[in-house]
Amino acid sequence: MIETSSTRAIISPLLTPLRDVHEQNVANAFCDNISNHNDPKDGFTLLRHQPDAPGYEFQRLDCIGLSGNNASAEDLRKLAGFVYPEFEQVVDRFAKRKDLLNHAASWLLSGNEMGFLTDHYKSVTGVAVAGGSFLCALYENTPVTPGDIDTNIIVSFFIKYTNLQGFKPTPIILGEIFSQTTFTTPPSPSTRFVIPTELRHEINTESVYYLKTGQIRERIDETQQDESPADSIRKKGRVVILAGSGGRDITVDTHFDRERHLYIPRTTHLGPLAFGTADIISSTPTLEVGLDMSGRRPKTFIRELPPRAPENSFSADSLMQSIAHGMSTPTHRRQYHPSRKSFDKATGKPTAAE
């Protein structure tokens, strides 16, 4: 690992040989996307690509994550409140769910892992706000403390090249909130035509391997090391926070459908789960959460923490469908698309085979 401020960059030696060939092209793809980003409410500004500068090792192609520190409830309020002024309202929504918080606390303090799945609204901002709100309510209403658990947020490589609110690099902020940040390359429209599928697969394989095992592979044929009975028991519970869509959710305003001769209300389309995301969700009980920060008051949808993990990827899809249904209103629907083809057709985006 490489020290980066209060965080440590997690480096995959299997990806290091690829830096010379692919690193600049990957950076260019994401930097172009950020430069063309047309939603100032996200608060993202471009962070120049400088992976070999001290403190910017997280921009290296072979950096698959950051090891950071869990923020206290007080620090969560300071950091998240700076990004989203209505953060306290979201915390209150979780605080009212005493049953959920007590269940989660018991589960985590027993050394178990839980997933925290949300929609992709406002990209990483919404995911971090939702996850931070849950943790803040958990710390203030149960015996769980930041030192009792691990927290891991899974984000796109996109984040490596951004400042948040002109404050500081987004990965550094995430490292001050969560004990681990995992970088992946989702099959979003902005990257799947630019970054080779094989390269995305190699990056995601190493990221997910470290996420699941806490080990960095030295060889391509290496598998998880055998554990002793004592080591196989997780010392701490863990919350894995992630967005379900394999890219940014896209909203289509009210319009008249000439083929069906009817008006379609404003609809936010949620893209399909990436295969790696479905695999993660299918391995742990996962809480479904929706969050819309576009109005004066946040709209939230919070389900129960189920007793077991989804049985397969189709069951994982049902979690996203549940979020879409729970967040829908008569004037603003949410629709989850389990396939990239249907998502691209609904949003007018080009489709390519994965």
Percent of the chain residues topping a pLDDT of 70:
82
Select the more confidently predicted residue: 224 or 134.
134
Task: Report whether pLDDT(2) > 60.
Answer: no
Quick one: pLDDT at residue 38?
A: 52
CA distance 284 to 307: 9
Residue 276, number of CB atoms within 10 A of its CB: 22
| pLDDT tens-digit readout, 53-63 | 999 999 999 99
For residue 353, name the pLDDT band (cuts at 50, 70, 90): very low
For residue 71, name the pLDDT band (cuts at 50, 70, 90): very high
Among all chains, which residue has been given the structure tokens 């710390």?
139
Task: Report whether pLDDT(250) > 70.
Answer: yes
Q: Which are the contacts of 70, defined by CB distance < 8 A and separation ≥ 6? A: 135, 146, 147, 149, 150, 151, 177, 178, 179
Task: Report whether pLDDT(40) > 60.
Answer: no
CA distance 350 to 126: 26
Quick one: pLDDT at residue 218?
A: 82
Quick one: pLDDT at residue 352?
A: 41
First to last CA, the chain: 32
Question: Among 268-282, 318-332, 340-354, which stretch is predicted with the lowest mean pLDDT?
Answer: 340-354
Question: Among 34-43, 245-254, 332-341, 342-351, which stretch is predicted with the lowest mean pLDDT?
Answer: 34-43
| pLDDT tens-digit readout, 115-159 | 999 987 656 688 899 999 999 999 999 999 999 999 999 998 989
Q: Are 83 and 123 in contact (CB under 8 A)?
A: no
Task: Report whether pLDDT(230) > 70.
Answer: no
Q: Report how far apart, in Å, the C-alpha atoms of 176 and of each of 170, 261, 271 are.
A: 10, 51, 29
Task: Report whether pLDDT(297) > 50.
Answer: yes
For residue 114, name the pLDDT band (cuts at 50, 70, 90): very high
For residue 20, name the pLDDT band (cuts at 50, 70, 90): very high
Coil vs helix vs strand at 335: strand
Length of the chain: 354
Quick one: pLDDT at residue 254?
A: 75
